[in-house]
Amino acid sequence: MSQLSEPKQRTILFLIADTGAGHRSAANAISNAIRLISQQEQEEWEARAQKEAVVAGNASDTHGSSYSKDGSQPLEYRIKIVDVFEEYSRFPLREVVKLYGPTIRYNPKLFGEFFNFSNREGSVMTMSSLASPLILNGLLRLFTTIQPDVVVSIHPIINFVTIRALRQLSLPIPFITVVTDLVSVHYSWFAPGADAYIVPTEQAKQLYLKRKLDPKRVHMLGMPIDPKYTHEVKPKEALQRTFGLSPDLPTVLLVGGGDGAGGLHTAIRAISQAHLPVQLMVVTGRNKKLYALLQRTRSRLHVPAHIFGFVNNMPELMHAADVLITKAGPGTICEALACGLPLILSGYVPGQEEGNVDYVVHNDVGVLAMDARTLTDALRRLLKPGSPELQRRLQNAARISRPASSFDIGRKILSFLPAADQPGVWQSQHSHMVQEQMSGRLHSAIRIRRLRSHLTSPISISKNTVMRRFSKTQDISSEQPGAVTKASRRHKRNWM
């Protein structure tokens, strides 16, 4: 037997954008699953090491032993989740991306028009060309800094430029796309050149195949939801006591997604005015204004209501409820299915979430209720004692739910990593040459941007005596010094 070397580490890089909470939630779900897989691998390895030590007559202090016949240890996984637009893109790209949340909340029709307009090859290629100069060098800097062994995208609009950046590195870094839309899959999700495309539904897979891409690279593994949805929870009665709920009233959970959109206030008002014999749990997400409004008006509602902001215990809330009312966000839909909750969809983001409505209705796990009358009627049917509609939807939810999807996705990602007995992607001589080349290129790009900023800055002109005199003669020196200084500082910051 020989002493083991230190376990090798592999780096997994997730690329996201915090447009809503869905992309980060999906990345967190997969990363949590990978950590649990790693823990299981370590426990299994330790058990084998103990068994080998016992067989060899060396059973003393074998827990966590560093000995094994084959000298191998499980890989360790270093996981990085990066909002690439916020941290590595330049103005105006990072500001444009931030418009998603306000747009779907205040003008969803406008977002739907943009989604449909951009959901075609020509539009995607044009947007990719415009975005590349604003993020390509940032991606190269990210990759050479983090040195990932695999890159996983969980956002559609980053895929084309990411593949371009990886090709410029000329390193065999696998690139995997995890699609987080159930049916209305935007054209930009399927950028040619990825090593694998993980999709949540058969409808999404068919859209992929329609693009004439390699059928061997698409894997239908479900929507990534947190591994907590596979855990056993307390009985519903115990959970209801935890949340201060009455055991004598049906519980309706209302969720608006990370940004709190989806007609929550309208749905609450409709249930209250109908005097339905229910109690409410309302999750407003990051919508602080709605949270404050509901807290102020809760005493005037005709039904008991418990108001929550952004929560981390959604599995417990769902298991305590009898019905879920939500907008048609894909993550929340799949979480509800995992918890066996029938759905009432109170709204959807045009374009992006229209297919999610079709998915829910076609599989008969819920209905769309965009007005007060439809919503209250749907609730009455579901909460009627012995409701056949409720039983049918619970059976359908159990049929199509995939609570362990994040583990399946995690294992697929891990299968692209170099084996423990192989060198990592960044350990070859070629990779060192690439790092040196990229370092020189990025430093040159920064110098060029600084020079360009200096040459175009009003301050550099004003320092020249001749130009200053000429400016006075022509009466064009009307800018305020403070404004010039702020603009210069902002310009410099955007280039850095």
CATH number, position 201 = 3.40.50
String of DSSP letters for 115-154: HHHHSSHHHHHHHHHHHHHHHHHHHHHHHHHH--SEEEE-
Asked if the structure places residue 311 within a domain, the reply is yes
Asked if the structure places residue 216 within a domain, the reply is yes
SS3 label, residue 235: coil
At 65 the pLDDT is 39
Does residue 155 sit in the same domain as residue 273? no
Domain span including residue 75? 9-220
Asked if the structure places residue 382 within a domain, the reply is yes
At 6 the pLDDT is 62
Asked if the structure places residue 435 within a domain, the reply is no
At 1 the pLDDT is 41
Does residue 309 sit in the same domain as residue 202? no
Q: At what angle do helices 388-400 and 372-383 cross, to 10 degrees?
A: 90
Per-residue pLDDT tens over the stretch 212-222 = 999 999 999 99
CATH number, position 355 = 3.40.50.2000
SS3 label, residue 226: coil
Per-residue pLDDT tens over the stretch 192-209 = 999 999 999 999 999 999
Per-residue pLDDT tens over the stretch 463-475 = 444 334 434 444 4
Could you say which of 199, 220, 241 is where a domain stops? 220
Does residue 250 sit in the same domain as residue 204? no
Residue type, 24: R
SS3 label, residue 478: coil
Does residue 211 sit in the same domain as residue 316? no
Provide the 8-state DSSP code for 157: G
Does residue 267 sit in the same domain as residue 152? no
Does residue 381 sit in the same domain as residue 316? yes
Q: Low-confidence residues of the chain, pLDDT below 70? A: 1-7, 20-21, 58-71, 257-262, 428-496
At 410 the pLDDT is 98
Does residue 68 sit in the same domain as residue 192? yes
Does residue 256 sit in the same domain as residue 391? yes
Integer Cα distance of 195 and 184 in angstroms: 22
At 209 the pLDDT is 97
φ, ψ for residue 307, nearest 5 deg: -110, 130
Does residue 170 sit in the same domain as residue 238? no
Asked if the structure places residue 463 within a domain, the reply is no
Asked if the structure places residue 352 within a domain, the reply is yes
Does residue 363 sit in the same domain as residue 343? yes
Number of structural domains, the chain?
2
At 469 the pLDDT is 42
Asked if the structure places residue 331 within a domain, the reply is yes
Asked if the structure places residue 1 within a domain, the reply is no
At 288 the pLDDT is 86
φ, ψ for residue 11, nearest 5 deg: -105, 130
CB 84, CB 142: distance < 8 Å: yes
φ, ψ for residue 321, nearest 5 deg: -95, 165
Could you say which of 386, 403, 420 is where a domain stops? 403
